[in-house]
Amino acid sequence: MSGASAPLRVLILEDSDNDAELLLRHLRRSGYDLDWVRVQTPEAFADALGVGGDGVSRDGVSRDGVSRDENKKKDWDVILSDFTMPRFSAPNALAIVKEHGIDVPFIIISGNVGEAAAASAMKAGAHDFLLKGSLARLVSAIERERAEARVRREHRRAVDELRESRARLQIAVQARDEFLSIASHELKTPLTSLSLQVESARQILETLASASGPAARLDAKLEGVSRQVARLTRLINGLLDVTRITSDRMPLDLDRFDLREAIEAVVAGTEDDLARSGSSLQIEASSAAVGSWDRLRIESVIYSLLSNAMKFGAGKPIQVSVNATPTEAVLVVTDQGIGIENGEQERIFRRFERAVPSKHFGGLGLGLWAARSIVEAHGGTISVASERGAGSTFKVRLPTSNGVPS
């Protein structure tokens, strides 16, 4: 409140010269440097708030040395208003404030107008109500309301920033999904040619009927190409699934099959990865686990879990088990690798998240997120139990009959 701080910007609504002068004197005596404007009409009030239209009357504006242009759109610290004036009133002023969503502390300083009027003014948005002639409380009321207005302003700014950054993020995600969708479409056409070429070449080789020598070597090479084509296909389909999941559209193509068949199919396609990982794989699945699921998607869930176990399994044994009740099939994949810290265990199921830096481990960071989305689309759950350095156990529960519309 010393002269060193910025002046207090006060908008005064008062018809009496005397009362206005008393008010200003009180504030100056309290140590405020003042930057003030006094108004007596709705037009002048709106103008002072920077919400008046062109050509409004500026009657009643009196200033202490500040030009009118500067006056416009001023950020007032406080509005001090008489209750009734010949051409204006505090309730009218409050209506204007409310209409324009202006958040400036509004303190009524009035003669005795009765409790009912005071109460209704407070209800209309006034922050305090003081009686002329007892201004002792004025300074503390102004300071309290300024502090609260500051808090409200900061809160609004934080909310605005959050909203903006969310909007930016949404646009970015949308652009990326659009890109993925186009890219995967573009990739599928050459992949079709490639896949058919390789398969056709292998068929031709077969007719050569030579089990050894160059034909056999060529066939082994083509088998390798064929595996890589299958891997590319999986990757591209995975990318496309990202966009499908994001747009909340994952129509399931339901089919009745044994979970063990799906595991077999995935394991057959990952033999190379397994050999590279140095881990051994043990499958415990003694009884059938039949249900209605989307075969390709469930295979991609199994693939994600298996390839994670190989990637992070530190070359130690991996166990896969399947158990089933009439209503539910449970798939468990356990490794004894690097494990996941407690705080990371929820995060790994989110999109593009990984618990380890990508330069040490490959992959797009989408596998578990896609797996969770797929499992949940089937009405199931996926969870992890893990300890740093002691491996991870992923458990997928799938209802055997699917109430989910396909």
Partner 1 sequence: MSAAQSIVMVVDDDRDIREIVADVLGDAGYSVITAINGADAIELLAKVTPSLILLDLNMPVMDGFEFRRAQRGNPALAKIPTVIMSAVHRMKEKVEELAVDDTLEKPVVLKDLLGVVARFCRTRDTY
> Phi/psi of residue 399, each to 5°?
-65, 140
Question: Least Å distance between CB 272 and partner 1?
Answer: 19
Question: Least Å distance between CB 154 and partner 1?
Answer: 45
CB 46 within 8 A of CB 52: yes
The HSE-up count of residue 243 (CA atoms within 13 Å, CB side) is 17
**Given the complex with partner 1, which of 240 and 322 has the nearer CB atom?**
240
**Given the complex with partner 1, which of 48 and 250 has the nearer CB atom?**
250
Question: Least Å distance between CB 242 and partner 1?
Answer: 12
**Given the complex with partner 1, which of 159 and 196 has the nearer CB atom?**
196
Which residues of the shown chain bind partner 1 in the complex (CB under 8 A)?
181, 184-185, 188-197, 199-200, 203-204, 229, 233, 236, 240, 243-244, 249, 251
Centroid of chain to Cα 185 = 28
Burial class (CB in 10 A: 0-12, 13-18, 19+), 211: exposed
Place of tokens 């068949």: 261
**Given the complex with partner 1, which of 116 and 209 has the nearer CB atom?**
209
Question: Least Å distance between CB 214 and partner 1?
Answer: 21
**Given the complex with partner 1, which of 74 and 188 has the nearer CB atom?**
188
What is the rounded CA–CA span in Å between residue 207 and residue 189? 28
Q: What is the DSSP track for 110-167?
A: ES---HHHHHHHHHTT-SEEEETT-GGGHHHHHHHHHHHHHHHHHHHHHHHHHHHHHH
What is the rounded CA–CA span in Å between residue 239 and residue 184? 7
Return the structure tokens found at 315: 């070359």
**Given the complex with partner 1, which of 236 and 318 has the nearer CB atom?**
236
The HSE-up count of residue 331 (CA atoms within 13 Å, CB side) is 27
Question: Least Å distance between CB 369 and partner 1?
Answer: 20
Question: Least Å distance between CB 352 and partner 1?
Answer: 21
